[in-house]
Structure formats: structure tokens, C-alpha cells
A and B are shown apart, each in its own frame.
Chain A
Amino acid sequence: MIKVLYLYHDIMNLYGDNGNIRFLEKALKDQGQEVEITRKTVGDKLDDLNEYDVIYCGPGMESNRNVCLKHLSQYKKELLEAYNNDKVFLFTGNSYEMFGSDLKGLYDCPDKGIGFFDFNVTEQSEKRYTADVIVTTDLFSEKCVGFINKCSKLSDYKSPLFRIVGKVGNTNSECDGIHERNFFGTQLIGPVLIKNPYFARYFIKTILKTKEIEDYKEVEYPNIMKGYETTINELSKDI
């Protein structure tokens, strides 16, 4: 049984991010695993975080992210326990910003993050950074694609998940995200696991490994793969 927690499902769901959970459920079942998805949100107790194998959270409007940060900050101890036990985290968009040290955020933003990682976040309300991007990673050789939509600037972090190698639109950094232990953070929003079959493959393998399941079965998702190829081709024309 693989237990997945969909955190802040009703408030951190900016743009089709529900696709990530749909995909996780299907892909893990395709691996022959039983899957249980639990949805929790602001106000719910999170003292059982360590009982989940995977914790996913999507992006949200800045004000909503602030609400979640205040709530999540109450569970630093539980988060740390899960992290140290190599539980798999996927935090997309501005949700992973919550794990930084100092925040200068918009609206009613707490000035301290969860503090897992040593980076700072500064938000401003003048300019939105939106871009279609092509990114690479050290984890596998194939490229990934995605959409960045943010108003923040993050200080450099020593182990980014992705490097931005091509873009259509505006971004303000060359690196993206965080990869430490089994924590995957990325500024990319939307259904990143569907848009990126190679990342999804790596991610599913990681989950199985933490459950000491060695035999990953190659499963083909032809429409997902062709969709990915279409986007890589289209973006490459314009970059």
C-alpha cells in the first residue's frame, strides 16, 4: 500500500495541478501497487505526516500560499521527521518556497519559512514572471518542459532540481527548484508529471525504492509521450 497525501488540495491548485495526483494514482496502480490518496487542507491536523509515503502540494495564489504556510509552520517537527525518513515530497510552484529560510512575501506573508533549506524568497507586485521553459536535470538525460508563473525571486540554492536551458517568456533565474534527499521542489506549475514522462518515471521509481520495491515495470503512456514530444518540438522552434 502506498499512501499519498494531497496537501491543500482545495487552495493550492492554481492551474490543472490535480493532474499530478490523478497521474500518481494511475501510475502506481500500473506498477501493481495499492494506492490510497488522502486529501487534507488548512485547518486539518497534520500530526500523522510521517505515515505517508508521498506528500504532494501544488501552487497557489500568493495570499493562499501565506495561509498554508501559517498552517504548515505548526508541523515543522512532523515534516522534518518525514523528510529524514526519506519520504517523497513533491512541492510545485510557490509551494516549495515555504521551505526556505527568510521570506519577504506579498500581503500577509510570514517572514520565516519552514527553514528546511537555506534560500530566501522575495516577492513583488509589479511584474509577473511567466514563461514556457525547457529544463534539464542531473537525474536523467532527457529534457523536461513546463510553465513558470510567479512573482518571486529566490536566492541561489546549492542543489537545484532543474536548469533552465530555453524559455519563451520571462524568468529571473537560470536554476529552478530543489532536490535534497527525496524532496523535489520546482517552480514549474500544472501537471508536471503528465507533461514530463521522464521525470514521472524517475519520480515513480523513487517512490518504489523508498518502499523497497525493486522491480519497476516499464509502462507506456503513448498519448502523454506524444504530448510531451509536441511541446518539446514547438518550444524548440521558438527558442
Chain B
Amino acid sequence: MKKLRVFFAVLICKTIRFMAKLLGRGSSLPGAITLKLFPSILSDIKLPETIIAVTGSNGKTSTVEMIANVIEKSGKTVAYNKEGSNQIEGVTTLILSDCTLSGKMRSEILLLESDERYARHTFKYFHPTYYVITNLYRDQLTRNGHPEWVYNVISESIYDDMTLVLNADDPLVSRFGYKRDKVRYFGANHLDSDTTVNDSIYNDGAYCPVCKQPMKYDYYHYNHIGSYHCTSCDYKRPETDWSLTEANLEKGYITIDDKYKIELSFTSIYHCYNTLAAFAACDLAGVDRNIIAEELSNYSLHSGRIQKFVIGNTRGTLLASKHENSISYDRSIDVAIKDAENVNVMIIVDAVSRKYFTSETSWLWDIDFEKLKNVNEIVLAGRYCYDLAARFEFTETDNNKIKLFVSIPEAVDYLKQSGKYLYVITCFSDMNKFLTLADKLEV
């Protein structure tokens, strides 16, 4: 009976997948239909011995892409959700598409990007061997509630047999490992770019996640990411199993565990963390560390996070950020202001989300836009340009530097003539509205 069920489930899923591809449909539909017919099919599949799952607010897609690349280059086969369908339907499509008709996955490693809210449904049916959690930020509160709400939801997807692989520098994430046996940590040692004060708009590490008493930080890498300890209980940043021992963002490289030097194609602190998380996961998957370092070196992401472009006389870089996610904006701003006086910055908020409707712009007030005050010119574009403009009124930015355009094409026409290097900061929901008007360049 089980054999027959598996046979039909795999067959149906693959057939629908084939047809869906012809029709240009997404990768979650085949899994969705199969799950309707066989709700617990995932528990009937013979999965590979090594299953890696990655969840968290930011960096899931990039981290998964890097892990997949390293594993493939090391000569092992890996199945992963490269289209980012990270809820149970997409995961089902991925797994069944990789199966023989007898229900055995062909790939040696299964690698999953898991939506932080849906992992609890997926992991009812099977458990990842290694469960990587990148960070927990204020992210899409219109869906997610708040970081601690998400923490509790993720907790429901964690089982004793999993090895958690946690970001030690994020106090809410490392709490998953508090008083737990099967846990490993990655994190950054003291870096030259650290600060001793948190100068961002808010500090989500101000209070201990365990006992709610004030926390103290020895240093911050950015926002609430750093080295912390509770002033009351024994909660503190744990010792790390993989450490970023150097991050030279000027020269564009990092060093892991004082030994493995990795050249970066994109120098931002969050890319360093994603790279470190990928290093840890590949190490656990049994790839030789030298090979990991070699393959991560100069790896440029395909998932379109960073896009160089030309418009008219103007060259620039688009930094895909996430609307409804202030930390992702803060990090993009850090990239844009490295040479502040000589660059223009364009911010587009046109559709707050691409997946659902919301008109919510509170998150703009959590972004440290103050840091942009020294750039040459700031262009605010899209339907919500007035919300952006209102936010900038409460910074020290000279009002003459700011231009408003509801129309993105008009904003682009204006910027074409400038000739100054342009950073465009916007979300996946809006970036193609800009990129279709630009010539894309290979990174």
C-alpha cells in the first residue's frame, strides 16, 4: 500500500511539475496538489542521510545558494529549492521531483531553504540533520508579528535529534541553543569595524531574551548583532565553533578560524555572515575545509541580490533589500555611504510587498536614514515617496538634496544625466520596475 502510494505521489508530482513548467507556473503547485492527495507523503520518502535546512529572517536564499554551489563543486549531488519555494508545498515538489518511483531521493544531500513560519509544518514529516538559523530581525511584521513571535513559531519546528547551527551573535537566535546538547555556533570575533555603542534607531538586544533583565554588549558588529551578556542571569554569547576572525571589507576578504581566507565578490557584513554560515554547513556536510574556502572565494550570487547597471551617463549598483525589514536597509545604506560625497542614492518604495497587499510603512521609521546625509543627492521614488520624504524630514539631511518622483521612469530620466555613481536601494517587489529601464551589467 505504501509502495503504491509513493509510486503515484511521485508520478503525479513529476507529471504536474512537467506540465507546470511548460505553462511557466511556479514550483509550489505540483507539491500543493500532491499534498492534497497524499497529506503525509513526506514521511514515506527515503531521504538522504544528510539534510540541511536554513531558516531565519535574512540571508536564507544566499546562504543556501552558496552551500549548494560548494557541495556540487566538491563532487556530491545536492537537491535544493533554488527557486526559493520554501513552504511545505515547494519543499514537497523539490523532494518528489528528485525521487525514484520507489520513493528514494537520488541526491546525496537534501538542502532546504525553509520559511520561518512554515518549517513547523514541514518538519512534522522529517527532521533535518543540521538546522541553520541565520538571524531574527523585525521582518515583514504584517505577516510575522514580531521577532519573539517568530522565535516561538520556529521552536515548534525543532526536535531533539537535530543539530542546530546557530548565529551566536544574535541573542534571540542563540537562545535556541540555551541549555541544549546538540548545537553548534558560528559568529564573528571582535572586528575592526565594531562599535561599543549601538547607534541604530533601536536595539533589539537591550534586554535578555531569557530573563528580560538588561543586557550589556562588549561590542556590536551591527544593530543588535555582537557580543552580549546578561547583567542578571548566565545568558551570554556562546563560544563559537566557526569564527570570523578577520573581516577586511576594504580589501574584500574574510578569514575563518584564522586559517581559511575567502575573497568576497561583495563586501558587506551580512554577506560575511552568510558566507560563514555556508562554511559551517558545508563543513558539517563533510566537505574538505580547503575546498569550501576555495569555492566560496569570489563566489558571486546568482539570486540577483546585487546588480550593476548603466542608465544614460550613470553607472550604479542596485542593492536588493527588503521592504518591511529595517536591518536590511541599514546594511544597504552602509554599503552606499562608503564614498558618500561622490554618490547619489535612489530609494524606491512602490509596492510594499509582492506577495500580499499592505500599505504599511512604519518600518521606514526604524531605518537609520540619518547616515545618508552626506551623499550628493537622494532621489525618493514610487507610490510611497511621500512617506519616505516625511521620514527624511526628521533627519538632518539638507532638504535641497532630496528629489521626489512618484513615477519611477521619471526618476530614472532625471538620474540618467547625473553621471554620479548611483546606488539604488529597494526591494525585490520593486527592483524590476527599475531594472527594466536600465542596462544590466555582469558582476
Q: Which of A14, A67, A145, A149 makes the CB contact (< 8 A) with B207? A: A67
- B residues near A16, Cβ cutoff 8 Å: 326, 362-366
* Chain B residues with CB under 8 A of A147: 141-142, 360, 362
Q: Establish whether residues A10 and B203, one from each chain, have CB atoms under 8 Å apart when the complex forms.
A: yes
Q: Which residues of B contact A168 (CB under 8 A)?
A: 357-359
Q: Does B202 contact A (CB under 8 A)?
A: yes
Which residues of B sit under 8 angstroms from A234, Cβ to Cβ? Answer: 359, 383
Residues of B within 8 A of A210 (CB): none
Task: Please state if A227 and B387 are interface contacts (CB–CB under 8 Å).
Answer: yes
* CB-based nearest B residue for A23: B394
The answer on a CB contact under 8 Å between B359 and A61 is: no
**Contact yes or no, A63 B148, CB < 8 A:** yes
Q: Does B361 contact A (CB under 8 A)?
A: yes
Contact with B along A7-32 (1 / 0, CB 8 A): 00011011111110011001000000
Residue in chain B with minimal CB distance to A11: B207
Chain A, residues 48-73, CB within 8 Å of chain B (1/0): the string is 00000000000001111001000000
Q: A19-B365, A149-B145 are in contact. Are A64 and B212 (CB under 8 A)?
A: yes
Complex formed: what's the CA distance from A188 to B203 in Å?
22
Let me know if B393 is at the binding interface, CB within 8 A.
yes
A15 touches B359 (CB 8 A): no
Q: Interface digits, B390-429 against A, CB 8 Å rule (1 contact, 0 not)? A: 1101100000000000000000000000000000000000
Please tell me if A136 contacts chain B, counting CB pairs below 8 Å: no
Kindly report which residue of chain A lies nearest to residue B151, judged by CB atoms.
A61
By the criterion CB–CB under 8 Å, are A130 and B143 in contact? yes
Residues of chain B with a CB closer than 8 A to A189's CB: 362
Q: How many A-B residue pairs have CB under 8 A?
A: 116
Tell me if A158 is interfacial: C-beta within 8 Å of chain B: no
Q: A39 at the A/B interface (Cβ < 8 Å)?
A: no
- Decide if B366 touches A128 in the complex (CB within 8 Å): no
Tell me, rounded to whole Å, the shortest Cβ–Cβ distance linking B148 to chain A: 4
Q: Which residues of A contact B386 (CB under 8 A)?
A: 223-224, 226-227, 230
Q: Is the CB of A19 within 8 A of B357?
A: no
Chain A residue contacts of B76, Cβ below 8 A: none
In B193-215, the 8 Å CB interface with A consists of 201-203, 206-207, 212, 214
Q: Which residues of B contact A191 (CB under 8 A)?
A: 362, 365
In the docked arrangement, what's the CA distance between A26 and B146, Å? 29
Chain A residue, CB-CB nearest to B383? A230
**Which chain A positions have C-beta within 8 A of B391?**
19
In chain A, residues 28-50, which have Cβ atoms closer than 8 Å to a Cβ of chain B?
42-43
Cβ contact within 8 Å between B390 and A13: no
C-alpha spacing A63/B364, complex, angstroms: 24
Contact with B along A83-105 (1 / 0, CB 8 A): 00000000000000000000000
CB pair B138 A61 closer than 8 Å = no
Q: Are B152 and A125 in contact (CB under 8 A)?
A: yes
Tell me the chain A residues, 130-170 only, with Cβ under 8 Å from chain B.
130, 132, 145, 147, 149, 151, 168-169
**Nearest-Cβ distance from residue B367 to partner chain A, whole angstroms:** 9
Q: Tell me, yes or no, whether B149 is within 8 Å of chain A by CB.
A: yes
Shortest Cβ distance from residue B380 to the other chain A in the assembled complex, whole angstroms: 10
Which of B138, B148, B384, B387 interacts with A15 by CB under 8 Å?
B138
Q: Are A221 and B390 in contact (CB under 8 A)?
A: yes
- Nearest residue (CB) in A for B156 is A125
Q: Does A207 contact B (CB under 8 A)?
A: no
Contact with A along B210-227 (1 / 0, CB 8 A): 001010000000000000
B contact residues around A195 at 8 Å (CB): 361-362
In the bound complex, CA of A234 to CA of B389 (Å): 18
Residues of chain A within 8 A (CB-CB) of B364 are 16
> Which of B203, B207, B390, B393: most chain A CB closer than 10 A?
B390
Check if B147 is an interface residue, CB within 8 A of chain A.
Answer: yes
Give Cα A147 to B364, complex, Å: 14
Please state if B145 and A130 are interface contacts (CB–CB under 8 Å): yes
Question: Could you tell me if B390 and A15 are in contact, using CB atoms closer than 8 angstroms?
Answer: no
Q: How far is the CA of A66 from the CA of B55 in the complex (A)?
A: 28
Name the distance in Å between B406's Cβ and chain A's nearest Cβ.
9
Contact at B145–A128, with CB atoms within 8 Å? yes
Q: How far is the CB of B330 from chain A (nearest CB, A)?
A: 13
Q: Are B360 and A18 in contact (CB under 8 A)?
A: no
Q: How far is the CA of A13 from the CA of B207 in the complex (A)?
A: 13
Are A190 and B365 closer than 8 Å at their CB atoms? yes
Residues of B within 8 A of A14 (CB): 138, 141, 146
User: In the complex, which residue of chain A has the Cβ closest to the Cβ of B363?
Assistant: A16
In the complex, what's the smallest C-beta–C-beta distance from B155 to chain A, in angstroms? 11
Chain B contacts with A in 120-147, Cβ cutoff 8 A = 138, 141-147
B152–A169 contact, CB under 8 A? no
Interface pairs (15), CB distance under 8 Å: A14-B138, A15-B146, A18-B201, A19-B391, A22-B365, A62-B148, A132-B357, A132-B360, A189-B362, A190-B362, A227-B386, A230-B383, A231-B359, A231-B361, A235-B359
